[in-house]
């Protein structure tokens, strides 16, 4: 019979593990949920009395307020939490490998492997182990092998794949009402029974017809496929935005018309300066690597083009800025509004803003950045990573971090919108105009500004997916 899950341990208190297991705790008051991490500072932040949580996510604080201390705990005592749990989520980071075989493409499974070995080393009873991190196909199989080879006699480990589909910025809404929950298991009686145990956890708030149970391999591939196809939509619309800019077409009108076809659908067709985030590029490169390993070069080339187009879109945008500013931005002041990879998050992983700023700095511009959520130290960290050959002191001579959008714009020749924060729409643009050098340029990389109103004020406005008509 399926195990009746009473205690859950989640290894990894990051963007995925934190919100997911906080919501499980909220919705399942009868289950004790302990989220553990190696990183003491991160756990302290989750436990902070004033709820200064380590990640910014709308609605998350409200969830933690209700559940923390009731049946939700954050801890660095990994061993105890693992030993007590019936079910363990593994939600550790899986960055793209920076060196060795598959560098730049394959996922670094070091963290998954060490978490798995740790479970095998300390577990004193049987467990259901759930792979939650986005991982390459066959990871569940590797986890199974490691657990079986290292565990104490008489213990059983059932491995499930349960990829997470939440998007940052809407994580809590996504978790409360997911389009679907996907659980992959071995199609053996034991595998199906473990799958039922996890299904019963989700069934506390997710309608059963939204819980899909499939084989492990389908589950692992579906996660990569979902992200690849979402990213592909953005690269498709961005490719069309280049045609719009060169003609009289308007990408918003085109996207609207195309999206009205129910076979295409209206969502996720917003042209932009390029997609970012920890998942899209990583998962596509994973898929490319997998296809190549399977000797399917045409398939690999197909998916690789989605990333190539995204790089092109970012480069195209920064070039448009330089071209428009009379072919040089050397010593000019460029204000960059937004540093996060999308609105409503403080996450900067693969943010297109980083690429734009890197391009502006290599043209020897001076850049002033403002973002409502990203930590100042994170901005310095990301820029040093993006410019490994430039010492941080040099970067700090060329970059200023501002506290408001208005102060970022002061004395600049151009304002560049890199993230679609709602507050950028509501800035006092007339005041911005007054503080800027003339002609005052605005580059809207997110199609959020009112072009006509800005032109009325006197701005020269450039928007993704529209011809210039300066
Ligand atoms: C994504 C998937 O949406 C989610 O299901 C998966 O679990 C993790 O990866 P996330 O990266 O958090 O989520 O955010 P998402 O909203 O998908 O945005 C990714 C990037 O695409 C952002 O940079 C966003 O600005 C960009 N984007 C999104 C566009 O440029 N245009 C769009 O129409 C939508
Ligand atoms: C298409 C467009 O659908 C239509 O809107 C446009 O006006 C003309 O082009 P059509 O070519 O008549 O219509 O048929 P469609 O149903 O789109 O199928 C085109 C091809 O795609 C067929 O060979 C079909 O078998 C194939 N197809 C379609 C698939 O292989 N898989 C699918 O999921 C859908
Ligand atoms: P994601 O976006 O996938 O959630 P994050 O980097 O935000 O990724 O979170 C992953 C977390 O997992 C980090 O806080 C990291 O410290 C933690 N972690 C990695 N390996 C282990 C491990 N073996 N044991 C406990 N925590 C780990």
Topology annotation, domain 307-463? Rossmann fold (3.40.50)
- Residue 193, both tokens: 């029974």
Nearest CA to ligand 3 atom 25: 37
470 falls in which pLDDT band (50, 70, 90)?
Answer: very low
Lowest mean pLDDT among 392-401, 427-436, 459-468: 459-468
Average pLDDT (382-408) is 97
Average pLDDT (384-398) is 96
- pLDDT for res 469: 59
CA of 277 to the centre of ligand 1 (A): 7
- pLDDT for res 138: 87
pLDDT tens for each residue of 263-317: 999 999 999 999 999 999 999 999 999 999 999 999 999 999 999 999 999 999 9
The annotation status of 349 as a binding-site residue, yes or no, is yes
d(CA 31, CA 205): 13
Name the DSSP letter for residue 96.
Answer: B
H-run or E-run covering 88: strand 87-90
Is the distance from the beta carbon of residue 134 to the nearest atom of ligand 1 less than 6 Å? no
Q: What is the DSSP string of 262-289?
A: TTT-SSS----S---SSSHHHHHHHHHH
Nearest bound ligand to the CA of residue 39? 3
48 falls in which pLDDT band (50, 70, 90)?
Answer: very high
Nearest bound ligand to the CA of residue 261? 2
The annotation status of 308 as a binding-site residue, yes or no, is no
Average pLDDT, the chain: 96
Give the active site residue among 9, 195, 244, 279: 279
3-state secondary structure of 271: coil
The annotation status of 281 as a binding-site residue, yes or no, is yes
CA of 341 to the centre of ligand 1 (A): 9
**Nearest C-alpha neighbor of 362 from the set 380, 326, 387:** 387
H-run or E-run covering 414: strand 414-417
For the chain, how are helix, strand and coil distributed in percent, rounded to 5?
A: 45, 15, 40
Residues in the chain: 470
Domain residue extents for the chain: 7-206, 307-463
pLDDT tens for each residue of 314-365: 999 999 999 999 999 999 999 999 999 999 999 999 999 999 999 999 999 9
Nearest CA to ligand 1 atom 5: 165
Q: What is the number of the ligand 1 atom nearest to the C-alpha of 231?
A: 21
pLDDT tens for each residue of 133-153: 888 888 999 999 999 999 889
pLDDT of residue 69 exceeding 60 = yes
Q: What is the number of the ligand 3 atom nearest to the C-alpha of 94?
A: 3
d(CA 210, CA 342): 27
Average pLDDT (233-259) is 97
> Residues 131, 139: contact at Cβ < 8 Å?
yes
> Residues 157, 148: contact at Cβ < 8 Å?
yes
How many other β-carbons are positioned within 10 Å of the β-carbon of residue 395? 19
CA of 74 to the centre of ligand 3 (A): 13
d(CA 408, CA 204): 47
pLDDT of residue 158 exceeding 60 = yes
pLDDT of residue 107 exceeding 90 = no
Catalytic site residue 279?
A: yes
Average pLDDT (81-97) is 95
The annotation status of 279 as a binding-site residue, yes or no, is yes
Is the distance from the beta carbon of residue 165 to the nearest atom of ligand 1 less than 6 Å? yes
Is the distance from the beta carbon of residue 255 to the nearest atom of ligand 1 less than 6 Å? no
**Nearest C-alpha neighbor of 469 from the set 137, 246, 309:** 246
Average pLDDT (15-30) is 98
- pLDDT for res 179: 98
Q: Which CATH code is given to the segment(s) 7-206?
A: 3.40.50.720
Q: Which are the contacts of 382, defined by CB distance < 8 A and separation ≥ 6?
A: 339, 348, 351, 354
- pLDDT for res 233: 98
- Using only the alpha carbons of the chain, give its radius of gyration: 24
pLDDT tens for each residue of 185-213: 999 999 999 999 999 999 999 999 999 99
d(CA 125, CA 135): 26
d(CA 265, CA 118): 44
Burial category of 427 from C-beta neighbours within 10 Å (exposed 0-12, middle 13-18, buried 19 and up): middle
CB under 8 Å, gap of 24 or more: what pairs does 457-460 form?
A: 457/429, 457/430, 457/433, 458/433, 459/429, 459/433, 460/324
């Amino acid at each position: 019979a399926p195990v009746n899950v009473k205690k859950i341990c989640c290894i990894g208190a990051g963007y995925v593990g934190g919100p997911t297991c906080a919501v499980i705790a909220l919705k399942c008051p009868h289950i004790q949920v302990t989220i553990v991490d190696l990183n003491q500072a991160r756990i302290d932040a989750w436990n902070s009395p004033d709820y200064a949580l380590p990640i910014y996510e709308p609605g998350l604080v409200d969830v933690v307020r209700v559940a923390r201390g009731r049946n939700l705990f954050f801890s660095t005592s990994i061993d105890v939490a693992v030993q007590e749990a019936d079910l363990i989520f593994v939600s550790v980071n899986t960055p793209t490998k920076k060196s060795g075989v598959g560098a730049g493409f394959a996922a670094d499974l070091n963290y998954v492997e060490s978490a798995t070995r740790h479970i095998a080393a300390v577990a004193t009873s049987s467990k259901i182990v759930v792979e939650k991190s986005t991982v390459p196909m066959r990871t569940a199989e590797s986890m199974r092998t490691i657990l079986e080879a290292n565990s104490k006699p008489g213990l059983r480990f059932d491995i499930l794949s349960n990829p997470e589909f939440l998007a940052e910025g809407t994580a809590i809404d996504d978790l409360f009402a997911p389009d679907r929950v996907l659980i992959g298991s071995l199609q053996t009686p034991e595998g199906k029974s473990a799958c039922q145990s996890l299904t019963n956890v989700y069934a506390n708030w997710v309608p059963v017809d939204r819980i899909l149970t499939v084989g492990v391999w389908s589950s692992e591939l579906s996660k990569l496929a979902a992200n690849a196809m979402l990213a592909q939509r953005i690269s498709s619309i961005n490719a069309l935005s280049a045609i719009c800019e060169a003609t009289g077409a308007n990408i918003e009108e085109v996207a609207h018309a195309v999206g009205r076809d129910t076979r295409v659908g209206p969502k996720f067709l917003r042209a932009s300066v390029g997609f970012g985030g920890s998942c899209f590029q990583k998962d596509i490169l994973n898929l490319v690597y997998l296809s190549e390993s399977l000797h399917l070069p045409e398939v690999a080339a197909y998916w690789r083009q989605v990333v190539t187009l995204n790089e092109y879109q970012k480069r195209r945008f920064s070039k448009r800025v330089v071209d428009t500013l009379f072919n040089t931005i050397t010593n000019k002041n460029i204000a960059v509004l937004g540093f996060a990879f999308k609105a409503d998050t403080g996450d900067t992983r693969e943010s297109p803003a980083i690429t734009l700023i890197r391009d502006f700095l290599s043209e020897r511009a001076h850049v002033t950045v403002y973002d409502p959520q990203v930590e100042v130290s994170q901005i310095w960290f990301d820029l040093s990573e993006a410019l490994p050959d430039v010492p941080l002191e040099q970067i700090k001579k060329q970059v200023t971090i501002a506290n408001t959008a208005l102060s970022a714009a002061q004395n600049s020749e151009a304002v560049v919108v890199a993230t679609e924060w709602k507050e950028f729409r509501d800035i006092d643009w007339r005041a911005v105009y007054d503080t800027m050098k003339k002609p005052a340029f605005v580059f809207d990389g997110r199609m959020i500004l009112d072009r006509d109103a800005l032109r009325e004020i006197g701005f020269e406005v450039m928007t993704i997916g529209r011809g210039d008509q300066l």
